[in-house]
Amino acid sequence: MGREKIIEGSGLSYHYTVYDDEGRPAAKQTALDGVDLQVEKGQFIAILGHNGSGKSTLARHLNALLVPDGGTLYVNGYDTRNDTHVWEVRQSAGMVFQNPDNQIIASVVAEDVGFGPENMGVPTEKIWKRVEQALKMVGMWEERDASPNRLSGGQKQRVAIAGVIAMRPACIVLDEPTAMLDPAGRTEVIRTIRELNEQEKVTIILITHNMEETVYADRILVMDHGKVVMSGNAKEVFSRVEELEHLRLGVPQPALLAWKLKQKGLSLPDGILTMEELAEALEELRKNGQRGAVREL
Amino acid sequence: MEIKIEHLSYTYNPGTPFEKKALDDISLTIGKGEFIGLVGHTGSGKSTLVQHLNGLLMPTQGSVLVDGEDIAGEGYSLRQLRFRVGVVFQYPEYQLFESDVLKDVSFGPKNQGLSDEEVLARAREAMRSVGLDESYETRSPFELSGGQKRRAAIAGILAMNPQMLVLDEPTAGMDPKGREEVLDLLRQINRERNITIVLVSHSMEDVANYADRVIVIVDGKIRWDDSPSVVFTRIEELEQTGLRAPQVSYLLKDLQDKGWDLDRSAVSIDAAAQEILKALSVPGQQTGGAVEESGKDR
Ligand SMILES: Nc1ncnc2c1ncn2[C@@H]1O[C@H](COP(=O)(O)OP(=O)(O)OP(=O)(O)O)[C@@H](O)[C@H]1O
Ligand SMILES: Nc1ncnc2c1ncn2[C@@H]1O[C@H](COP(=O)(O)OP(=O)(O)OP(=O)(O)O)[C@@H](O)[C@H]1O
Ligand SMILES: [Mg+2]
Ligand SMILES: [Mg+2]
């Protein structure tokens, strides 16, 4: 076993310094508290956790925007604390942040997407090929000549994702990339992420509050107050309904509905995560004669 | 209060190469105490529309009447209007500007000319109701996590006690529990205090669960304006506009296609669960019927 690791973090801790009115350091805010994180090349990892649990802080460590004040973190083999490697680290792990407004700089969509590859020294003809591919992947090719500040929130976010895709990093870290998208945009982005992962073998780290988006991940990590408190595949994690609620999370809608139906006595199998699975299980129940269908009412 | 929008159109940057018609002949009435869900594809014009409700934007054509008075009229007090209609913006960072969270949340009520104690009481209550305890009072709003910022922005508007609350994607970036808490709070404010709620959301599930009326905007025009159970059963048409139906709608449709006898107008999880149980337990139904003790479940 043991495929090549792209991310190896052990005992990561990080504290923000909080300043008082006069700008003097006044207190420390713990954001990461002993996080171990091992990601193999090509994996799709999802990270869940309550507001303030440390997800974005962890993401900022993966491209060396922050460096740990305890523990070690290697990205693609580079120690993020060693600032001679910042460039390699950034090139290995591309980031898509929560708010697209802070990421778009150029005055024309296509230029913005070409900015990353240009900085990396990609030859001009290749840049435009990459820009076209990336914009088509996120469904924004039509708007290539538009000015980003005329776009709505959702449209901007798709451009930001294209900008990262165009850099072809080994690993993409997405911090709530769909939070501002409409259902079609959301589906499209998640499909794009899965394609990048399955076809291009890009390592994906997806931070989200949307439980449905994590069901295709190889592994889900759940954070709580700076620690990783749960880790497993979707079936394992989402079978722990009450624990998740306690951690301020939930389960995907199909799993929730299945759970409610079970509470009412229907004997449905464990591990239902999609509406298709639930429909099949219910149809099975209906067909197989009903004696065993309902345990008690 | 009642807001009446008549033939409203809005164009950004008129007369320039960047001209963009964002709203096109919108007419609608928002009655007191309604809970409205406003949905539409990205760029459909939702944020543009809601900014007209408190006069942040003025119509290019048409009018916005608040209790019969045109807000573009001479001498109309927009300041007063903004106390009555509270708007939580889509991007909370644009709403936060004070050096600590308590000051930030106090800003609105302070401007309303309330006494210091009253301002403090209102601010604290609002913070509590969005799940920010005392430890956040002295924190800088810029040093909060994404979801914490969103909570602070909502608290700032709640603290003004507006008669109408307009929230542009208030739960984006919130953890599932926080999302439920905020939506429950809105429902409570709506039911107990008859405050009008306009909720802009990309979550069809949230709109189906909380709103009494759904307005669907497509390319700057109103496409549908009806109850959730009517709007959300038009699955194919919704998908053509970049939206979708709540997830349970797909399940019920799938089951119906498989020959189940059920009512597809259930759009919330609980209603769908009941519909499924009902369909399974009707005696003598289809192949050998279902459960003997039918009718026991509600
Ligand atoms: N710039 C900062 N200065 C001080 N404290 C901060 C700063 N940014 C975040 N924090 C704190 O660090 C902790 C972790 O924040 P982080 O942004 O990593 O959370 P998160 O899991 O991404 O939350 P969310 O789901 O709301 O985005 C929180 O308690 C937060 O208040
Ligand atoms: N300041 C602006 N200048 C020019 N055009 C704008 C501006 N703001 C928005 N637009 C354009 O107006 C249209 C409507 O935008 P609006 O922000 O109202 O959409 P929305 O429905 O809120 O979208 P989202 O779901 O992404 O938030 C879009 O085509 C957008 O590109
Ligand atoms: Mg975050
Ligand atoms: Mg908007």
Give the tens place of pLDDT for each residue, B60-115: 999 999 999 999 999 999 999 999 999 999 887 777 888 899 999 999 999 999 99
Judge contact between B232 and B247, C-beta under 8 A. no
Per-residue confidence (pLDDT) for residue A293, from 0 to 100: 52
Give the Å distances, CA to CA, from A234 to A176, A238, B148, B291.
18, 6, 27, 32
Question: Please, which residues bridge with residue B30 across strands?
Answer: B3
| 3-class state of residue B1 by DSSP | coil
Instruction: Give Cα A261 distance to the centre of its chain.
Output: 30
Q: Tell me which chain A residues have a C-beta less than 8 angstroms from the C-beta of B243.
A: 182-184
User: In this structure, what token pair is assigned to residue B201?
Assistant: 């959301």
Per-residue confidence (pLDDT) for residue A18, from 0 to 100: 86
Please identify which residue in the block is written with the tokens 């780290």: A205
Look up the domain containing A296 and give its range: 252-297
Give the Å distances, CA to CA, from A8 to A65, A69, A71, A208.
17, 16, 11, 21
- Which ligand 1 atom minimizes the distance to the CA of A29? 5
Give the tens place of pLDDT for each residue, B219-228: 999 999 999 9
Same domain (yes/no): A245, A272: no
Same domain (yes/no): A241, A256: no
For residue A59, which of A88, A85, A39, A42 has the smallest C-alpha distance? A39
Would the pLDDT of B289 be above 60?
no
Same domain (yes/no): A152, A215: yes
Same domain (yes/no): A286, A202: no
Tell how far the Cα of A198 is from the centroid of ligand 4, in angstroms.
Answer: 32
Closest residue of chain A to B251, computed from CA coordinates: A275
Same domain (yes/no): A274, A293: yes
Same domain (yes/no): A49, A188: yes
pLDDT band at A224 (very low <50, low <70, confident <90, very high): very high
Per-residue confidence (pLDDT) for residue A168, from 0 to 100: 83
Please identify which residue in the block is written with the tokens 């990339």: A177
Same domain (yes/no): A217, A139: yes
For residue B48, which of B13, B76, B81 has the smallest C-alpha distance? B13
Q: Which of B20, B148, B293 sits opposite A150 (nearest CB)?
A: B20
- Strand order of the sheet with strand A171-175? A93-96, A171-175, A203-207, A44-49, A219-224, A227-232
Take atom 31 of ligand 1 and give the residue whose Cα is closest: B144
Would the pLDDT of B293 be above 60?
no
Same domain (yes/no): A161, A221: yes
CB atoms within 10 A of CB B135: 8
Give the tens place of pLDDT for each residue, A69-123: 999 999 999 999 998 999 889 888 989 887 767 778 888 999 999 998 998 889 9
Assess A186–B contact: CB distance below 8 Å, yes or no.
Answer: yes
| 3-class state of residue B221 by DSSP | strand
* CA–CA separation, B23 and B11 (whole Å): 7
Q: Tell me which chain B residues have a C-beta less than 8 angstroms from the C-beta of A16.
A: 143
Burial tier of B206 (Cβ tally within 10 Å: 0-12, 13-18, 19+):
buried
Same domain (yes/no): A96, A35: yes
* CA–CA separation, A56 and B118 (whole Å): 36
**pTM of the entire predicted model:** 0.90
Same domain (yes/no): A230, A256: no
We report the CATH number of the domain holding residue A74 as: 3.40.50.300
Contact B47 A152 (CB under 8 A): yes
CB atoms within 10 A of CB B115: 10
Take atom 27 of ligand 2 and give the residue whose Cα is closest: A153
How many CA within 13 A on the CB side of residue B287?
Answer: 12
* CA–CA separation, B86 and B99 (whole Å): 22
Q: Tell me which chain B residues have a C-beta less than 8 angstroms from the C-beta of A176.
A: 146, 173
| 3-class state of residue B50 by DSSP | helix
Per-residue confidence (pLDDT) for residue A275, from 0 to 100: 95
Same domain (yes/no): A206, A270: no
How close, in Å, is residue A48 to chain B by CA atoms?
Answer: 9
Query: Looking at A272-281, B91-100, B168-177, which range is the least confident one?
Result: B91-100
A64-101 burial, b for 16+ CB within 10 Å, e for fewer?
bebbbeebebbbbebbbeeeebeebbbbbbbbbbbbbb
Same domain (yes/no): A172, A294: no
- Asked if residue B92 has its Cβ within 6 Å of ligand 2, the reply is no
Tell how far the Cα of B215 is from the centroid of ligand 4, in angstroms.
Answer: 14
Q: Tell me which chain B residues have a C-beta less than 8 angstroms from the C-beta of A153.
A: 42, 47, 90-91
Please provide the average confidence, as pLDDT, over all residues in chain B: 91
Assess B12–A contact: CB distance below 8 Å, yes or no.
Answer: yes
* CA–CA separation, A100 and B242 (whole Å): 20
User: In total, how many domains does chain A have?
Assistant: 2
pLDDT band at A231 (very low <50, low <70, confident <90, very high): very high
* CA–CA separation, A15 and A215 (whole Å): 31
Higher model confidence: residue B80 or residue B288?
Answer: B80
Tell how far the Cα of A190 is from the centroid of ligand 2, in angstroms.
Answer: 23
User: In this structure, what token pair is assigned to residue B48?
Assistant: 């543009």
pLDDT band at A151 (very low <50, low <70, confident <90, very high): confident
Higher model confidence: residue B284 or residue B37?
Answer: B37
Between chain A and chain B, the number of residue pairs with CB atoms below 8 A apart is 169
Instruction: Give Cα B59 distance to the centre of its chain.
Output: 22
Please report, for chain B, the start and end positions of each structural domain, with discontinuous segments joined by +.
247-294
